[in-house]
Structure 1
Amino acid sequence: MLRFILSLALLAPLACMASDHLDTPSVIADPRTDIGDLYAWTSTDGRRLNLVMTIVGHSFSDKTDYVFHIDSGKTFGKTAHTTTVRCNFPSAGITSCRAGNDDSAQGDASQPVGLDSAKHHFRVFAGLRDDPFFNNVKGTRAAYSVVFDALQRGTAMDAAGCPLLTQEQSDILLEQWRHTDGGPATNFLKGWTPASIVVSIDLPLVAKGGKLLAVWAATRQGGRQIDRAGRPLTGNALLGTIATDDISDVLKERYNAATPSTSAEFTAEIGKGLALYDSFDGACGNQWLIEKAASPSERYRALAALLADDRLWVNTESHSCTQLFAVELAHLGRQEKWHGDCGGRTPNYNAVNEYRSLLVNGTTRGVDDGVTHDELRHSDDVFPFLAAPGQREKY
């Protein structure tokens, strides 16, 4: 997910009452530090963890470290060991990556076959690829305009901050979301080619604390963390949604500089964004992880705390990967059918629409922007996974 574009999609319609900038000043200053998306999933043979970090800028900075953090544990929500895969680009055409103290690679990683590490424990690719994320930006903006108009016309919010949309307003919103300028939905990101770091690494190197992994990515420059990313959507769309630009900038800069372990301070603010999403189907209180008996101030706390942590959870005991939030759904939602799914995120998940559905109606289906897949085919099992720019193999 190119989060700066998603922020445009979500926040621009709320220009009179919310932040409408694309991202924080730090990443706008250098898009080569701006993480678009993070993907993490187990290989189909169950031997490796596959990782992808896309960068909004179309090249890498020689002053930036690009870091995958892989936390491992035996129990969901508790991790005991961290492995980092840290890559940098010291000179033109040279990629240098290190997996903890176990293995390293240095050389030309720009060919599709990638670059093998010295001890053959991981392979890395670094270069331009087609972005697998897809999003109907104009449809999303039109949907948000329905909420904006309703609030401008005096629609009230309930005690938890959820706008009390009528069913008619909700129907219009969801219909607008599935179209582009009144016609068939189109992918605003068609043909986008971000700089991409792709790593396929042996599981024993990253699962030292247990079979459950929690993955997040960061960019660092001059000893400072510039950006971080885990799941799609959270950082830009759910923080400062109805704040002024100045307040939102400060909030998101702090969020990007934080780590999962220091993110609890953002729970309340994320809860405000969740309250807006909860209204979209015209029924407040049916979002995922809501405790119906909770007081209004606590309604969104459980989900907000989970999202503030913002890590992709991967069950490495499974090599069937079909569902975003599968690990969370299995453990928090007690949905047995997902215990055998690796979760994480592959390049082919309809991730944002599944995320939206959880935030709106409490399920993984039913809310979408009319775009269901990228124009090009991406692979779950053939390195470097993301399609080459302009390739002909299409849906």
Structure 2
Amino acid sequence: MSDHVDGPRSIGDPAADITDLFAFTSPESPARTVLTMDVFPSAGEDAMFSNIIDYAIAVRRVSVAGVGNAAKFQPEADEIRFSCRFETLKRDTAGKAIQYGVCKLPDGRELSLTVNDEKGTSTPEGDVRVFAGLRSDPFYLAWDIAILKKLPNLLQHTNVLCIVVELDTHRVLDPAKGSLFGAIAETVPPQKRGLLGPAISRIDWIGRPEQTNMRLNNPAMSEIDDLRDLWNQQAPFAISKALQPLFLQRLKDSIATWDMLDGRADWTPEAIAATANVFLDDFLLFDVAKPINDESHLEIEKSTLSGRPYQTGGGRSIDANSIDILLSWLVNNDREFLQGGATGATKLGMKVFPYFATPNTELQTVTESVELAAAPDDVWSLIGQFGGAWHPLTARINLTGAGIGQLRTMLTLDGQQTVERLEAIDDEKRFLRYTHIAGMAVSHYTGTLEVKPKGSGSVVDWRAQFLAANATDRAMKVKVSTLFKTGLESLKPRFGAAK
């Protein structure tokens, strides 16, 4: 998923897990360029930036050093770096939790940040403006890419933490010296030697989308070693020469696999080798002297590999369909555009700063029911007890307190523990309502269980509303739905299914 959850190490530290990198011309002003890194896949509403991680976007001027099968993009040694660091949470004057940070600019100036302040912070000179905060995830994936099966957007309603750097193109990048650039983003932990060995040089980094999850760890390839953590430890713009043959061979094998996924060969061995060489030098290419739009993503690479001058500014805009653009190239060499099961992210980007859409806050709903042959009171006598262990996935239940406000701590057979609180119960109406306290990746969770008469029997309705937190809506809906269905289906042998 672009760069979401791209290896064991980043999965274990979501605040340092980079999801995406963007480079585009500001919709507000053609004289300004926007660089953005997103982190924290499926961020919950309370997600915050790590206080021990440097979040950095680095840009280097690039020249075209070869075309056709000798295509090569050569970065310069000088680097234009924006590095943000954040503090622990504090309380504002109203007692609300708030996070502050500092963004260090390439010339050493520092900008103070208040997380989630939509106005962002600008330098006194107005040449740089920075925003940091929670936004709707602009990435969308609508494929089971291993088999090219179309799906709905797998990241619908998810959020990310976003760092937006908007800059005066001429004052900061000085395109008169060359207008083609390569950008990377990285998350760097403290460089102190640990008790168990040397310091980790970085947790995650990204150049072009999908280097790790689709090219190095191609899901269509079976029985391959996961190279993603090894790749993420490489220095951007300077991949280890000793490891280059390993990565290069994987890239070749991966492109060859993608080529045959539709059963038709569209790539020559020479073209595969040349493209793999370009991907090995992994940075997001953008040219500030040419137009960057939703269709220009990867055009610089494609044109240069084809031996012709590129026509656009490449880069990656917020609404660029990066997955379908990439799949169409890898699978059939752009013979046919492959459109997935969605045509856009949950929300489109905005035309005004900070450009990325506001966070998703819509409660998601799961509803399941079962019709039974037994009378409603008989069914309620079993499932209407808040502490009842009638659910087949329950290993143990502990109750704390009594009546409204009672807590139940449930341990399931797979070792998961959840804590829920009783908010309302009506035995006459055979209804109860509860909220989730801890244990699942959700917030604002409210569940209801109700038994109503239907014909000569009854119907049981189980319903929940929630926001997913640190998990996708799709994953949480499947988890909650499975829990409900399993419980409701277990009632049929006890009370008989309605006929």
What's the counterpart of residue 83 of structure 2?
A: 86
The correspondence for 2:109, drawn from 91, 99, 103, is: 103
Give the match for residue 470 of structure 2: none
Q: Percent identity?
A: 26
- Per-residue CA deviation, residues 309-328 of structure 1 (Å, 9 max, x unaligned), is 22111111024423111222
Q: How does 1:10-89 map to 2 (within 5 A)?
A: 23-44=6-27, 45-57=29-41, 58=43, 59-75=48-64, 77-80=73-76, 81-89=78-86
TM-score (norm 1): 0.74
Structure 1 CA distance for aligned equivalents of residues 354 and 276 of structure 2: 33
Q: 8 Å contact 2:319–2:349 — kept in the other structure? A: yes
* Residue of structure 2 equivalent to 1:212: 180
Q: Which residue pairs with 1:170 in the alignment? A: none
8 A contact 2:292–2:317 mirrored in 1: no
- Within the candidate set 203, 212, 216, 1:235 is matched to 212
Matching residue of 1:309: 281
Q: Which moved further from structure 2: 346-355 or 323-332?
A: 323-332
- Mapping for residues 140-179 of structure 1, pairs under 5 Å: 140=144, 144-145=146-147, 173=148, 177-178=149-150
State the alpha-carbon separation in 1 of the partners of residues 209 and 292 from structure 2: 20
- Partner Cα distance (2:253, 2:64) in 1: 29
In the alignment, is the contact (CA less than 8 A) between 1:42 and 1:314 conserved in 2? Answer: no
CA RMSD, Structure 1 to Structure 2 (Å):
2.4
Task: Could you tell me which runs of 5 or more consecutive residues in structure 1 were left unpaired when the two chains were aligned.
Answer: 5-21, 146-172, 181-185
Residue deviations 1:181-236 (CA, integer Å, cap 9, x gap): xxxxx111111111111110122323465210111111100222111111111112
Please give the per-residue CA displacement for 1:302-343, whole angstroms capped at 9, x wherever unaligned: 11121122211111102442311122233332455x51x211
CA distance in 1, matches of 2:62, 2:256: 32
Note the C-alpha offset of 1:375. Answer: 2.9
Give the partner amino acid of 1:378: G
List aligned pairs for 1:1-395, cutoff 5 A: 1-4=1-4, 23-44=6-27, 45-57=29-41, 58=43, 59-75=48-64, 77-80=73-76, 81-92=78-89, 93-136=99-142, 139-140=143-144, 144-145=146-147, 173=148, 177-178=149-150, 180=151, 186-203=152-169, 204-207=171-174, 209-223=177-191, 224-241=201-218, 242=221, 244=223, 247-248=225-226, 251-258=227-234, 259-262=236-239, 264-265=244-245, 266-284=247-265, 286-287=266-267, 290=268, 294=270, 300-321=272-293, 322-335=295-308, 338-339=310-311, 341-363=312-334, 365-379=336-350, 381-390=351-360
Higher relative contact order (CA 8 A, sep 6+): 1
Q: Which secondary structure state, in structure 1, belongs to the residue aligned with residue 205 of structure 2?
A: strand
CA distance in structure 2 between the partners assigned to 1:234 and 1:355 by the alignment: 11
Partner Cα distance (1:225, 1:117) in 2: 28
Structure 1 residues 32 and 106: alpha-carbon distance in aligned structure 2, compared to 1, 3 A threshold: same
Deviating 4+ runs (over 6 angstroms): none
State the Cα distance separating 1:244 from its structure 2 match. Answer: 4.9
TM-score normalised by the chain length of structure 2: 0.60
| Higher mean displacement: 341-350 or 365-374 | 365-374
Which of the two has greater helix per residue? 1
> SS in structure 1 opposite 2:158?
coil
3-state DSSP class of the match of 1:260? Answer: coil
The more displaced of 31-40 and 260-269 is 260-269
- Report SS of the residue matched to 1:238: helix
Inter-partner Cα distance in structure 2 for 1:75 and 1:46: 24
Per-residue deviation at 1:2?
Answer: 4.7
8 Å CA contact 2:58–2:79 kept in 1: the answer is: yes
Partner of residue 380, structure 2: none
Indicate how the Cα distance of structure 1 residues 324 and 365 shifts in structure 2: closer, same or farther if over 3 A, else same. Answer: farther
In structure 1, what is the Cα distance between the partners aligned to 2:3 and 2:130?
24
* Per-residue deviation, residues 286-314 of structure 1 (Å, max 9, x unmatched): 13xx45xx4xxxx6221112112221111
Contact 1:68 1:216 in 2 (8 A): yes
Question: Does the aligned pair in 2 maintain the 1:64–1:88 contact within 8 Å?
Answer: yes
* Contact 1:354 1:364 (8 Å CA) reproduced: no
Matched residue count: 320
- CA gap of 1:68–1:364, structure 2 versus 1, over 3 A, is farther
Task: Please report how far the alpha carbon of residue 39 of structure 1 lies from its aligned counterpart in structure 2 after TM superposition.
Answer: 0.7
Question: Counting strand residues as a fraction of each chain, which structure ranks higher?
Answer: 2
Q: Separation in 2 of the partners of 1:55 and 1:33? A: 6
Structure with larger Rg: 2
